[in-house]
Chains A and B, each alone.
Chain A
Amino acid sequence: MSMSLPPASGGVDAGLVVDPEVHGVSLWRGAVRRLRRNPTAIVGALIVLAFVVLAVIAPLLTSYEPGSAEWAGDVTPTSVPGPSEDHWLGLDRFGSDMWTQMVYGARQSLVYGVVSTAIGLAAGATLGALAGGFGAVGGRFGGWVDTTVMRCVDVMLSIPSLLLAVSIAAVLGQNSYAVMIAIGTAQVPIFARLLRGSMLSQGKADYVLAADALGLRKGRIVMSHVLPNSVGPTIVQATLNLATAIIEVAALSYLGLGTSDPAVAEWGRMLVAAQDRFDAAPRLAVLPGVAIAITALGFTLFGEAMREALDPRTRR
């Protein structure tokens, strides 16, 4: 080895000077840094955080049990007792404490949203990675696998997602697992298509050609090069889907397909119950409605900000 190699360091190679703050930063850590600078992300994150905290510490925030109907005697056909010292948000139409229903409802929404999105993400990403992986590097046979998988996904996509969820929930029976599986399944096509699409486009990237030119195996190229570069949009979509999932849980409950256990507080079912007392106590509908809207907004803001942070074009 000759020792005459020019050192790359030194004044000429100006690009070598690495910003000390940026040092040791991966794509994801860089994204977190950008998120912290984005007010939208902060608002979204605060809403999500408040929601999660409420859900987790719900038992500490109230001394009553959800769905207890303890004060059923105080509720008359024409009036539902409003806020008082004992009941901050008043009673609901069955005589349970409204505040208790609300915080336990948050807990329910969080569990439903996270579990159903996780089901959808796991199944959808698996299908998408299968189709995208084979499609990106698989040659003719790969194209065949890609087409087969994606046509199946297209069939799922041709059914409106809520209708699909309703049918699945109806078939699986009236319990909470059925709701989660139903909503998760309805999300599968979104994740599958998204991951496949970004894998196919990453498959045409220069570094994939370069890896191919170095003789790396196809499986290795997919797993260590194509896939890690393609998951970003899918993760973002999962955040956005949490919002949709929470709304869909409420919708299924509203349609009477959620759990029938009265001891489970659920925002969607609270909306149903409030319907026939809307003139007497509008807050019974407004409170869960606003809660759903704010939670969905929080996840949406956070997801949008995350997409921006991970998008190489908006990177600063």
Chain B
Amino acid sequence: MTSTTTSAPLLAVRDLAVTFGTKGSRPVHAVDQVSFEIRPGQHVGLVGESGSGKSVTSLAIMGLLPRRGVRTSGEVLWGGQNLLEADRKTMSRLRGRDIAMVFQDPMTSLNPVVPVGIQVSEVITRHKGVDRREAADRAEALLRKVGIPDPGRRLGEYPHQLSGGMRQRVLIAMALACGPKLLIADEPTTALDVTIQAQVLEVLKDLVKDTDAALLMITHDLGVVAGLCDEVNVMYSGRIVESTTKDRLFGEPRHPYTGGLLESIPRLDSPRGTPLRPIPGSPTQTLPWSEGCAFSPRCRNKIDSCTTSTPVLEQHEDRQLRCFNPLTEARQEARS
């Protein structure tokens, strides 16, 4: 899983902003100033809690945001082309073939009245131009690849006959059917049981490694990031607040939000009875970025400037950081 740092980026998101707004109501800046790159074969994580703009970012990359009431700006560069300005035909040819996506809820992401075999093979016929029989053969091979036993029989079954884990495997098979260069996984395990989560992640990991696809993993689960990603971007309230390699992020979180997220994970080696350490407050307690740091109402490291001016994403030694008063090693020591 070595990142090929030298090659040109596969996907470059520059200054992406997505604003939702209808006439008469205050516009909502769901995503703002988001920039990151994904190189071929690289695994990048996009982490944040609900409402931080992770999913909107992925939908914007795919061009799947509704047209009405949504304004996007910035650039999503794919092979020199800005996908935000591409027409529907170009996007439709790109989706599924070059960039594919796995959604959060396997229960609703499959068509309930069409057998899964047809749903898998229609993607193949669409992008690979093979005949139906060939597509069905490939679909069977794909289902076998994602660890579905007796795939020949499963092809004729309907989604409601499969368990959640199986359905997510089918969706992964569909996403990887045409050998995409980039797979976007939007919380692919959130809707599954913990044991199934591990299996599905394992499948995803192996297949992505096998096909040399790059991966954009969108999740709120730092454990998933730890197992899968090379680079991690942490989002809060629509903006990236910390961006670095996985090892640095886990070894030494600098943004108080990242630090809080890591501390809130219960550890097996801590003595019994140790209270959990949540981040105080709730994600609704944010300051608009225009007035200061959105995280400041919940931040333990808050200083005066946090509420009077807006921090920018800057290079801090080994990482990008958006914070006036980042955690230092000494402070982490003192708290743990």
* A contact residues vs B (CB 8 Å cutoff): 1-2, 4-9, 12-16, 18, 22-27, 139-140, 205-207, 209-218, 220, 224-225, 228-229
Contacts and interface: CB of A to CB of B under 8 A. Distances in A.
Interface in B96-120: 96-97, 100-101, 103, 105, 108-114, 118
Given A8-B199, A215-B96, A216-B122, A139 B174 contact: no
Contacts of A2: 206, 210
Contacts of A216: 92, 96, 122-123, 126
Given A12-B195, A16-B165, A215-B127, A206 B108 contact: yes
B110 A207 contact: yes
A215 to B, nearest CB: 3
B38 to A, nearest CB: 17
User: Would you list the 3 A-B pairs with minimal beta carbon distance, nearest first?
Assistant: A15-B163, A215-B96, A215-B95
B126 A8 contact: no
A225 B113 CA distance: 8
B9 to A, nearest CB: 22
B60 interface: no
B161 interface: yes
A217 B165 contact: no
Nearest to A226: B111
Given A16-B165, A209-B103, A6 B147 contact: yes
Nearest to B103: A210
A210 B110 contact: yes
Interface of B: 62, 64, 67, 88, 91-97, 100-101, 103, 105, 108-114, 118, 122-123, 126-127, 145-149, 156-158, 161-166, 169, 171, 174-175, 195-196, 198-199, 202-203, 206, 210
A209 B202 contact: no
Contacts of B114: 224-225, 228
B108 A207 contact: yes
A202 to B, nearest CB: 10
Contact of B161 (A9, A12, A13, A23): A23
A212 B93 CA distance: 10
Contact of A25 (B64, B111, B158, B169): B158
B126 A220 contact: yes
A207 B109 CA distance: 4
A42 to B, nearest CB: 25
Given A1-B145, A206-B105, A6 B199 contact: yes
Given A6-B202, A215-B94, A229-B112, A13 B165 contact: yes
Contacts of A24: 156-157, 161
Given A6-B202, A22-B161, A213 B148 contact: no
B161 A213 contact: no
Contacts of B175: 214
Given A215-B94, A215-B96, A220-B122, A210 B163 contact: no
Contacts of B166: 8, 13, 15-16
Contacts of B62: 213
Nearest to A208: B111
Contacts of A12: 195-196, 199
Contacts of B123: 214-216
B126 A16 contact: no
B192 to A, nearest CB: 10
A228 to B, nearest CB: 5
Max chain B C-beta neighbours (<10 A), residue from A2, A5, A140, A225: A5
A8 B103 contact: no
Contacts of B91: 215
A134 to B, nearest CB: 14
B111 A212 contact: no
